[in-house]
Structure 1
Amino acid sequence: MTSSPALVVDGIHASYGPLQVLFDSSLRVERGEMVALLGPNGVGKSTLLKVIGGLLTPDAGTVSILGQDLTSAPTRKRVEAGLCQVVGQSSFPSMSVVENLLMHGYTNSDRKWTKEATEAALAVFPRLNARRNQAASTLSGGERQMLALAKTIVGDPKLLVVDEFSLGLAPVVVGGLMDLVRRLNERGASILLVEQSVNVALSLVHRAYVMEKGTMIAEEDAAVLAADPERVAALMLGGHAEAHA
């Protein structure tokens, strides 16, 4: 029997009060797949992530994670189902690196496993390991992003959603983070990457969606799209009709 996709977002309409932001938005991530959601600021990407994470209830449509319809479920249920979201460089600033990682294993009742996973995560990031007892607030931007991704190793997600992980970071740091995302994928995590840097995203994922004004205007094979920079430019500038001409 074929396993269900890691994520299915189907026909989502969502609003903030009277302002509708998402219009019939749909995407899917198959198990073991890496998918990018592309588009400039203000088109609804972050709103869609709130719907996926349970922070915003849609007006219509459904969200299924690993075969479970979780459209109306609280965020806790989605985490229990295997969802992990990395948004920016989020951490507990007054807590140490180790404490941040241990906190991220709270959903697992096996404390021994959580400690072992914490050490495994630190082994992936020697720079973090060297700062293991420092407060997160003292880390550089790149180190805080490493910490955000390291927490996913402790969480051992089945579905990982990463939002703008390259924002404001040096290319050499971004390259290292891309390697980690690939390794997480190889470990079994299905990944949805929301990213403004088209080059970063297309070099990493298998497929890509492009969003404009709250709806999907294209779904493409990443390699095919990367080989057609004129089409990429047209899509990112909202010129999808011309891109098909």
Structure 2
Amino acid sequence: MVGEPVLEVAGLSGGYGSIQVLFGIDLTVGHGETVALCGPNGVGKSTLVRMLAGLNRPSAGRISLQGNDITTVPGPKRVRLGMSTVIGQQAFGTLSVRDNLRMHAYPNGRHEEKAHTAVDGALAVFPRLAARADQPASTLSGGERQMLVLAKTLIQRPALLVIDEFSLGLAPVVVGGLLELVRRLAAVGVATLVIEQSVNVAMSIADRLLFMEHGSIIATHTPSELRADPDLARRLVLGGHAA
């Protein structure tokens, strides 16, 4: 990693009320780097995403975005500071694809020409969305809805992109197209944190893979290390430290 990380998480702990879910999470994501956070359901991945997005307040630790401490900063301001978070496939179902995208052009202000340019640029990246630009978002397939939420992030021009459950429920051919988009974003310097259950998907896109167990990060490996030792990845995914 060169220079200051885009995202730095240090000693992050917390959960829901009296139930602690995260225990001292440390991680960084650099400029143009893609980091995958892996692990089975229930280990705290989505709780971490909610804390990064400002939806949950940690009980301890610090979150920094481009050198700024955002631990207590409200979620909407984190977007303005350069963080874009994709959680699920949320969209305004009754609005057209184009209008959904226009809703996310607000960082460009209310300047109509800039908004049109941003929306047209996002649609150019996704020809399937462009062909459905005037259809209600409720008519899109699961893969197309995932494209729509990623297209929204293009409009916001984030420094950091956080994607929860990247490939969940999507056909392999759709996942392949989305992976290519993330690679293109990394090529222009966007830092990306991907929460992913499939280690194969994570290895195909990430520079580093972090493995979680019981609310803690237990291991960090590169794709080449995991390919050289398939049993290592299997043990980590099943919830066990490598010997």
What interval of TM-score do these two structures reach, taking the shorter chain for normalisation? over 0.9
CA offset at residue 188 of structure 1?
Answer: 2.0
Aligned to 2:22: 22
Cross-structure match for 1:127: 128
Superposed CA offset, 1:18-69 (max 9, x none) = 1110011111101111100000000000000111111111000000011100
Q: Is the partner of 1:205 in helix, strand or coil? A: coil
8 Å contact 1:206–1:223 — kept in the other structure?
Answer: no
Unaligned segments of structure 2, at least 5 residues: none
**Residues 34 and 206 in structure 1, CA contact (< 8 A), matched pair in contact too:** yes
Deviation at 1:203, TM superposition (A): 0.8
Corresponding residue for 1:38? 38
Other-structure match for 2:170: 169
2:85 — aligned with what?
85
Report the AA paired with residue 124 of structure 2.
A
Q: Which amino acid aligns with 1:142?
A: G
Alignment of 1:154-193 (within 5 A): 154-193=155-194
Distance 2:89 2:186 in 1: 20
Residue matched to 1:63: 63
Across the aligned residues of Structure 1 and Structure 2, the Cα RMSD in angstroms comes to 1.2
Q: Which amino acid aligns with 2:89?
A: Q
- Residues 188-243 of structure 1 show CA distances to partners (whole Å, capped at 9, x for unaligned) of 21100001111001110101110000000001122212332100010111111xx2
Q: What secondary structure, in the 3-state scheme, does the structure 1 residue paired with 2:108 have?
A: coil
Tell me how far apart the structure 2 counterparts of residues 166 and 92 of structure 1 sit (CA, whole Å).
21
Which residue identity is paired with 2:192? I
Q: 1:120 Cα deviation (Å)?
A: 1.2
Please identify, of 10-19 and 101-110, the stretch whose mean Cα deviation from structure 2 is larger.
Answer: 101-110
Q: Does 1:203 align with 2:204?
A: yes
8 Å contact kept, 1:92–1:136: yes
Aligned residues: 241
Cα distance in 1 for partners of 2:163, 2:51 equals 14
Quote the offset at 1:113 in angstroms: 2.4
Q: CA deviation at 1:167?
A: 0.8
Identity of aligned residues (%): 54
Match of 1:235 in 2: 236
Write the distance in 1 (CA, Å) between the matches of 2:57 and 2:112: 33
